Every structure is written in structure tokens, then in C-alpha cells.
Amino acid sequence: MKKEKIRFGISILIGSIFSFIICFFDPMRVLISKGASMTSDYSIGAAFFYFFLIVLINGIINKINKRISLKSEELIIIFGMMAVACAIPTWGFALNLIPLLPGVYYYSDPSWKENFIPYINKLITVNDKDAVNWFFEGLPKGYKIPWDKWILPLTLWFILIFSVYLLSILIIYFLSKRWIEEERLLYPLITPPTELSKKENSFPPVMKNKIFYLGMLIPFLILSFYCLNIYFPSVPQINLSKTYKIFRGTVGLNVRIAFEVIGLIYFVSLDVSLGLWLFFLIFTIQKGIFNITGFGKVTPEPWAFSGIEAGYECMGAMFMMVLIILWQERNYLKSVFLDKKNIFYTILSIICFFIIVFWLKFAGLKFIHSFIFTIFAFLTFIGITRVVCQSGTPYARSGVVPAGMLINIFGTEKIGANGITALGFTSPWACDLRTLVMTSSANFFALGERFKINFKKIIISSIIAVIIGIFASFYSIIKTSYKYGGINLGGWQFTNYVPYTINWVKEYILH
């Protein structure tokens, strides 16, 4: 039987629409409704939610007219685009970046003006006084959003982040065949879309199972109490977590019921899930011992929420894992890089890498430091992506961040005030790594391999999702902020994020 041709254009169109919806409305949910983001972690909740609706509607269409309903491969392209888009609007990048650009001036105190502001490359920030104040306090009546003050910095940031995302996609393109076919990574996050894409008399078999709906109903009912409590405080919340203080109260062991973890861990092998649980306990015990014995570094370390010593221990282990993997795959990677059909992607990857390096130099970092920072950043991205693809964990962060590593290796004097300030501006895309385009792309390629979709189509789909996601997120956040005033909105990016970022930069400059 002849295989039906994939309608790539239709898939791209629907995927683009839902990528826009995700990136436009999810920041609004965080800022206006002050609710939880559906795009802030590797669980890509927004992609799963909208994909379920698409599959449901597609099943109804299939009953009416089978010819116009979406095929499994078309559904996968749509899901992959949404998954990639999920890594952009909130904690992945945009919601971190936009408040930072005017926030460095709005939240500025005398110490910032003396020890931080002079070292900023003004071209990458929004520094017009009215544009800054109106962003956080709301537009005066009759005034319009000063888009002209945003065009240059957003253009410069688009060049950087598009290069970062394109390089991320291409790196995974080079690695995916090996990871999927030879190393056989588990990719637990692709099991739900795989099952939902199977077609059997209109609807996938999993949607005909009553247990499927029971699994949806339980978290829906329990979490509904949280929503109702916001509007009706008399409605009680069902507490799903409890923290136990151990090691003289210096460490909190949080025990909670996380429904997304329960769902995803089902698809993970027993040895991987045991490793995640066991080594987390060992990590917690070690952290407690360090705390009560006073062992550790006193100087500040940005984004080292798990502790500096343990953070570097984790980072060292992850870097070694990535370097060993790359060494083992050196012959394979060499053949892929030099393959005639991939030579365009190889050249494009090199161009993207050096765009990132020279952008960081433009921001104030010396060339050698920019070069090493970019390597550190992508080693981190690859490490986290590898862990998520094998374990399916919806939550992951690096132990420490590339900026802190670079400063500790070279020292503040060699990097200089301009360089440290430039490192502060890497926070939106290389510090709080709660979600990554690279990780979403890796799952997309794994789905493509499973459904026999040409990898070039996946690259094109991912790039389109990235472009739509960036512009939709920028527009949504800026418009919302000028309409309501950033200081009146939810999300820690408008309150604590900017001072946190600038304070550690200032401390390093003065160190």
C-alpha cells in the first residue's frame, strides 16, 4: 500500500498558529493572572495541552471527512513546533530578557550608578527615561508604546538568540542519529505524543481507555481547589507537599505529589528512576554535611541554588559526561560534519558559533572569554539535554552557570568590569536553565525518527517555531507591561529578577 504524502504546509501552518498562541498568551497568564506558567520547564505543559485538543478535534473531523483530517506525521510536526516554542516565552528566554533591558535603569540605586551602569553597552538596553518608566508604571493616557526605543536592542538580541537557537537545533541534528539508533536513549517525553498520534477509527487507542480519563480527572479535581482558592479564599487547598528540615534545619527535604512527574516517570526504566531518586538523597545528605561543618566558599555565586560546592561537583560530573560522549562519538561526528549533504549545516553551525562569540565581545567581554563562555554554555545545554532525553525529568537545572564558572577560572581582574557586566546580560538565556530549545528539538528529532519524518523538515519546522516564538513573546510582554505597568504584574522577573542579576554583577565588580 502506497504511503500517503505528508501535507507539510498544513502542518507548518497549524504548528505556527499554536506556537504563536503559546508564546503570546502564556506570558500573559503569568503576568496578568499571576498563575503558573505552562512553558517554564521541560515538561512543556502547553504543548501537551494544546496537542490533546488538536487530537480531539482531529478525531471529530476524521469521523466527518477522513480525507481532510491530519495524519500521524502531520500531528507530530505540529507537536514538535509547539514543544520548541514552549522553550522561549517565559523562563526559557523572553520573560527573563524584556524586564531586564529597561530594569537595569528603573531599579538603579546609587551603588548601581557608580559600579554597574557605566559598564553597560547602552545599545543592548532600553535607556530612554520615558520608555523605561512607562514600561514599569504604565503608559500615560493618550500615549503610545515607544516601539522606536525598542527596535535596536531587540534586533541585536534577536541576532544573538536566533544564533543560539539555530546552533542548538543543528547540534542536536548532528547528534540525534547516534543517540536514537546506537545509544538508544529512552526519550520518555515523546511517549505521550506518540500514543496520541496513533489513529484507529478516528481517535487514538489511548483515548478510548477509561483509565486515561481517570488519570486526567484526579489532578484536574485536586488542582481545581487551588484555582478556586484564589478567587474564593473560603475554599480550602489540598496540600500536596511538605518540607522536612534536617541537618539542624539547614536543609529542607521537600516531599510532594507532582502529577506530571508521576505520569512521566512511568515511561522511564527502573534503573534510571532509581538513580534519580537515590543520588538526589545522597546529594541532599552531602549538602547537609557541608552546611553543618562550615565547609564551603563564602563569596557569592550566581544561580547556585543547590550550594556552590555541590553545584560545581554536579557541573564537573556533567561536563565530564559530555566530553566523554563527544570523545566516544568523535569519528561519527567527523563523518557527519564532513558529509557532503551536511556541509551547509556544518558551515552554518560555525557561523552561528562565531556570531555568539562576537556578540558577547560587542557586549563587553574579551574575545577569549567570549569563546570559552560559549563553549561552556553549549556543553551545559548538551549535558542537560542528554539527562532529560534519558530520564524524562520535567525539572532540571545546572549546578552552577557558565558565567560563574568563567569568573572563578579567570578571576574578576582579568575579565574586567565590562566583561562581568556583559556576563550579567547572559542571564536571560544561559543562567536559569529551566527549559531549552535544544532539549525540545532533541525530542522533536526523536519523534521524527520514530515516524520516519525527514530531518530537514524538522529543522525547518523548528526554525519557524523559533522565529514566531521570539516575536510573539516580545510583543506580548512589552504590550502587557506598557498597558498595566510592570510593577503591577506577576512573575518574579518584574520584581526580584533584575535586582538579583545586577547585585551579583556589582558584587563581582567590587570583589
Question: Which residue in the block uniquely carries the three cell numbers 546552533?
Answer: 167
Do residues 309 and 290 touch, judged by C-beta distance below 8 A?
A: yes
Q: What is the mean pLDDT of residues 57-78?
A: 94
pLDDT of the residue at 1: 43
Model pTM? 0.95
CA distances from 412 to 112, 130, 391, 416 (A): 17, 34, 37, 6
pLDDT of the residue at 266: 86
Cell, residue 477: 510582554
Q: What is the mean pLDDT of residues 77-86?
A: 98
Do residues 97 and 428 touch, judged by C-beta distance below 8 A?
A: yes
Q: Indicate whether 467 pLDDT > 50.
A: yes
Report the first-to-last Cα separation within the chain, whole angstroms: 71
pLDDT in tens, 473-496: 999 999 999 999 999 998 888 888
Q: What are the sequence ranges of the domains in the chain?
A: 8-510
- The rounded distance, in Å, linking the Cα atoms of 443 and 433 is 17
Q: Indicate whether 299 pLDDT > 80.
A: no
pLDDT of the residue at 287: 86
Q: Indicate whether 35 pLDDT > 90.
A: no
pLDDT band (50, 70, 90) for residue 297: low
Average confidence score pLDDT of the chain: 93
pLDDT band (50, 70, 90) for residue 172: very high
pLDDT of the residue at 44: 94
pLDDT band (50, 70, 90) for residue 34: confident
Do residues 190 and 392 touch, judged by C-beta distance below 8 A?
A: no
Using a pLDDT cut of 70, give the percent of the chain over it.
98
pLDDT in tens, 236-270: 888 888 999 999 988 888 898 888 888 888 888 88
pLDDT in tens, 360-374: 999 999 999 999 999
Q: Which three-class secondary structure state does DSSP give residue 293?
A: helix
Choice among 17-26, 64-73, 414-423 with the minimum mean pLDDT: 64-73
Torsion (CA) 201, 207, 210, 214 in degrees, nearest 10 = -170
